[in-house]
Structure 1
Amino acid sequence: MKAFYSLLSLLFILTITSCKNDTKSTVKDTQQTITAEKGIQNIEVNIEGMTCEIGCAKLIESKVSKLEGVTVSKVSFKEKTGIFTFDASKISSEEIVKNINGIAGGELYKVIEIKTVQ
């Protein structure tokens, strides 16, 4: 009986470890494909006025991600930056900046620098 439980445990462990999917490379491949398409651009912006990660950074990230043409929206509270990937045929970097500056009536956040990144 002890051998049966040992064999069953070993089989269970092998099943669990063999089912592991490596999605990291899939995400990287997808981002490279999106970037390679015509009209896709990346910008990095410095944002003033963020006071917390959950409220401020996530709010900006969420609002920008809902804009038509934006495919990637990542805001770092620690770095005070946002990185956005977008289709330039649908939205411009100026429109993204205008949207960030206009959150909460334009009272809280201000983009102070824009850089185009590859």
Structure 2
Amino acid sequence: MKVQKIIFSIAIACFILTGCKNEAPEEVKKENVSLAISGMTCEIGCAKTIQSKLSKKEGVLGAKVIFTDSIANIEFDANKTSKEDLIAFVSGIAGGELYKASESFNKVKTSNKAHICSDACKDSCEMKAKKTPCKEDCKMDCCADKKS
């Protein structure tokens, strides 16, 4: 009986010692990407929803969606997600029916409200897709350069 208790104690000690390995935490590889997002129609419903969902996605360290510029600025851990994954994630929000995301290679200056957009954004602009002229109150980047 004493031998069984000793063997049982040794077995538990071995499990505890091998189960408590100190693994070095993986280093965060921070990267930034700006995504041009078409299909947003309002700041509260669209932009805030996209920003909220991005902020909760694994690997995203910070996200800011700027409705007036149709841009999402995202800081992420490249070890956990990628630019392509983020583009697919944003495009898939709301079942993939509402938004279209693409990488924006132009930086948006939010201080002076400059409307700078990538060619990919302009190509996917819903006004262009519907072949309708830009409305006077349209805030989409692809319409910004058509207004005087």
- Do both proteins adopt the same fold according to a TM-score greater than 0.5, normalized to the shorter chain? yes
Q: Is the 8 A contact 2:54 2:60 kept in 1?
A: yes
Structure whose residues are more often strand by fraction: 1
Identity over aligned residues, as a percent? 49
- Counterpart of 2:13? none
1:14-29 pair list within 5 angstroms:
none
1:1-118 pair list within 5 angstroms:
39-115=29-105
Runs of 4+ deviating beyond 2 Å: 112-117
Q: Is the 8 A contact 2:59 2:76 kept in 1?
A: yes
Distance 1:72 1:116, change over 3 A: farther
RMSD after superposition:
1.9
Greater RCO, CA 8 A, separation 6+: 1
Name the aligned partner's letter for residue 80 of structure 2.
K
Rg larger in 1 or in 2? 2
1:74: how far off? Answer: 0.2
1:41: how far off? Answer: 0.2
Paired residues in the alignment total 81
Unaligned residue ranges in structure 2 (runs of 5+): 1-26, 108-148
- Aligned equivalents of 1:115, 1:90: Cα separation in 2: 22
Unaligned residue ranges in structure 1 (runs of 5+): 1-36
Q: Is the 8 A contact 1:43 1:116 kept in 2?
A: no
